């Protein structure tokens, strides 16, 4: 698939028009599932560097205007995988022992990863602020992964994330042609 390898001639107004509210996402992804799947298959054949450049440009552009504080869909509906280093960081922030973080806030999922005990995340407040922001888990910092290199490795995951994150949905829809 040929991409715009300059990755910059992106019409912001079109992208703005394509960013849906979090509540609409599941329906939209269901409606466009075949199209999105086809898009991901095509993107898997693109030059990896062109793909990274293009997706990173869209990421910068989208997050330049899209306010996560008005969304928080990720923090409210899924949990990051949490490493021991994350536990230590959270313990430092909360001024408790790491074992206390594990007992109070974490459980093990079916893949054997530690995740937050419940959703919404126990650290999100009523105004969508993260109360452990400076010490949040690595996966929280990296979500939704649209600025990661080797994005071709994250295409399947991004298809899943399109149901959660309006920016991922908008980026995939933008790349559908």
C-alpha pair distances (Å), 47 with each of 2, 5, 36, 52, 150: 8, 9, 19, 9, 10
Contacting ligand SF4 (CB under 6 A), which of 165, 171, 173, 175?
A: 165
Stretch of 10-18, 41-49, 91-99, 162-170 lying at the interface with ligand SF4 (CB under 6 A): 162-170
H-assigned helices in 7-125: 12-18, 25-31, 33-43, 48-65, 73-77, 84-94, 98-105
Contacting ligand SF4 (CB under 6 A), which of 114, 143, 151, 169?
A: 143
Q: How far apart are CA 131 and CA 72, in angstroms?
A: 13
Alpha-carbon dihedral sign for residues 77, 80, 81, 83: negative
Q: How far apart are CA 12 and CA 61, in angstroms?
A: 7
Nearest by Cα to 85 from 144, 148, 145, 135: 135
If the CB atoms of residues 29 and 74 are measured against ligand SF4, the closer one turns out to be: 74
Stretch of 36-44, 48-56, 65-73, 91-99 lying at the interface with ligand SF4 (CB under 6 A): 65-73
Question: What is the end-to-end Cα distance of the chain in Å, rounded?
Answer: 10
Closest distance to ligand SF4 from the beta carbon of 45 (Å): 26
If the CB atoms of residues 91 and 130 are measured against ligand SF4, the closer one turns out to be: 130
Q: Does 10 bind ligand SF4 (CB under 6 A)?
A: no
Stretch of 3-11, 50-58, 103-111, 134-142 lying at the interface with ligand SF4 (CB under 6 A): 134-142
Contacting ligand SF4 (CB under 6 A), which of 28, 102, 121, 172?
A: 121
Q: Name the residues that contact ligand SF4, by CB under 6 A.
A: 66, 68, 71-75, 80, 121, 123-124, 130, 132, 136-137, 140, 143-144, 164-167
């Amino acid at each position: 698939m040929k991409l715009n390898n300059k990755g910059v001639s992106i019409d912001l107004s079109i992208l703005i028009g394509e960013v849906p509210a979090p509540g609409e996402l599941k329906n939209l992804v269901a409606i466009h599932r075949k199209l999105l799947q086809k898009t991901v298959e095509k993107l898997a054949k693109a030059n990896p560097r062109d793909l990274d450049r293009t997706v990173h440009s869209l990421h910068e552009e989208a997050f330049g205007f899209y306010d996560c504080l008005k969304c928080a869909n990720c923090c409210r509906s899924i949990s990051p995988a949490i490493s021991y280093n994350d536990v230590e960081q959270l313990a430092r922030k909360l001024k408790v022992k790491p074992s206390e973080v594990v007992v109070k806030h974490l459980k093990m999922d079916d893949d054997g990863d530690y995740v937050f005990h419940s959703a919404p995340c126990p650290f999100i407040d009523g105004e969508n602020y993260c109360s452990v922001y400076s010490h949040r888990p690595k996966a929280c910092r990296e979500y939704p992964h649209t600025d990661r290199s080797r994005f071709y490795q994250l295409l399947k995951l991004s298809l899943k994330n399109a149901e959660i994150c309006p920016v991922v949905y908008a980026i995939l829809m933008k790349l559908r042609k």
